Amino acid sequence: MNVNANRLELLRAVRQAASVAPNASPLEVLKGILLKAESNGHLYLATTNLEVAIRIGLPCVSESEDAVVVNARLLVGMLERLGGESVMLSRNDSSLQLTVKSENAFYQIPILGGDCFPQIEMPFPEDTIPVKGLPKMVKRIAFAVDKTNNEKPMLRCVNLMFTKDGLKAAGSDGHCVATAKGDANSTGDIAMMVPAASLGTLARISSDKDEFRVGTTGKSIVFMKKDLFFSARILDGEYIDTDKLIARLTNRFTVLADMEELRDTLYSTVSIDPDGTLMLGFDGNLLYTRCDSEYAKAVNSMSVIPLTGTPKGEYWYRSRQLMECLRVTEGMTTIGVAQNGLLTVSTENSYYFQSPVRAPATVRKTPDPAPKAA
């Protein structure tokens, strides 16, 4: 291997690839990055944790074809500390030592042969469809997923649905449900459960302007564009029918609210206990809020526009989930209360509902009296 590449471009690509490589694994090869140099002037980097796989390409000057596996964390550290605009990667013949050099400094690091790296499956190009705006859609869904639930894997997943009307997605943690519309041109007739953490990784390394070709290999869903290849494992099973679930909801009343003002009103209220519960009260064109903590109580209010029914009553909800929903919601939003106090939040491209909780029986704690002087 004898490769010359731009140091900052290589560092950016290595950081993206290293975000997938596990820091601890019984398989040493999984902690590494595959560096594959091709004589056509491209260097490809690949990592996998057997759940997710990434392959990134960037231009380089290469005199021969070669493939090696380098520890991901070490390579990131080296490129961060080296100076200069370009960096050279080299090794002699079949040596198991790679030299990373820039300006007057260099590192030598032990490597593995590229043939021990797991093969990444790719779908046939003719079986793929275009997708845009993935990061924005993922943000509207991922907050509602319970990423740590190992007993119910479905609750760790986002349900991606390619329909005749385009791409849709849904997520739930058992207490709330979020759905969102994606690219209207991504039509099909297939649904699959993908871990939200995997889609979150893709969202971090791409932008809404990126257009991917998406396909499946049976066990994985694959997103491809010019110099980026991303594969995520698909979980077996069927997801809950969120469309049917939402169709059964009937709001007792709805109001129209400006999302920015609603966020500010609720943020100021829940600041005393972000992980507690929040009361939403409705009285005609007034929405008032309340949050009780062990030592304090916060209240606030704002004006809304009644749309249907008679806005009336007080309802309690989990603060953290609701604020996460409002953080990724924009513009004028319809707020409603359905049967059993279910809260609904809807916009043109997203829908969210959350089950209520009991009103807390909080008694403000009195500080302990100061000890008497001896």
Per-residue pLDDT, 287: 97
Residue 121 and residue 373: Cα distance in Å, rounded? 76
Residues of the chain with CATH 3.10.150.10: 2-116, 125-213+234-241, 249-354
Residue 17 and residue 6: Cα distance in Å, rounded? 16
Model confidence pLDDT, tens digit, residues 80-137: 999 899 999 999 877 899 999 998 899 999 999 999 998 888 887 778 999 999 999 9
Neighbours of 275 (CB within 10 A): 9
Listed as ranges, residues in the chain with pLDDT below 70 are 362-374
Quote the mean pLDDT of the chain. Answer: 91
The pTM assigned to this predicted structure is 0.86
CATH of domain 2-116: 3.10.150.10
| Domain at 125-213+234-241, CATH from 3.40.190.10, 3.10.150.10, 3.40.50.970, 3.40.50.2300 | 3.10.150.10
Residue 78 and residue 98: Cα distance in Å, rounded? 12
CATH topology of domain 249-354: DNA Polymerase III; Chain A, domain 2 (3.10.150)
Closest CA to 190 of 229, 211, 213, 159: 159
Residue 59 and residue 35: Cα distance in Å, rounded? 13
**CA 205, 171, 309: angle at the middle one, nearest 5?**
125
In this structure, what DSSP letter does residue 155 have? G
- What is the DSSP code string of 280-307? EEEETTEEEEEEE-SS-EEEEEEE-EEE
- Using a 10 angstrom Cβ sphere, with 0-12 exposed, 13-18 middle and 19 or more buried, the burial of residue 26 is exposed
In whole angstroms, what separates CA 233 from the centre of its chain? 15
Question: Is 168 in contact with 180 (CB distance < 8 Å)?
Answer: yes
Put residue 38 in one of left, alpha, beta given phi > 0 → left and psi -120 to 50 → alpha. beta
CB-facing half-sphere around the CA of 33: CA atoms within 13 A: 27
Closest CA to 235 of 254, 216, 251, 252: 216
Per-residue pLDDT, 363: 46
Put residue 332 in one of left, alpha, beta given phi > 0 → left and psi -120 to 50 → alpha. beta
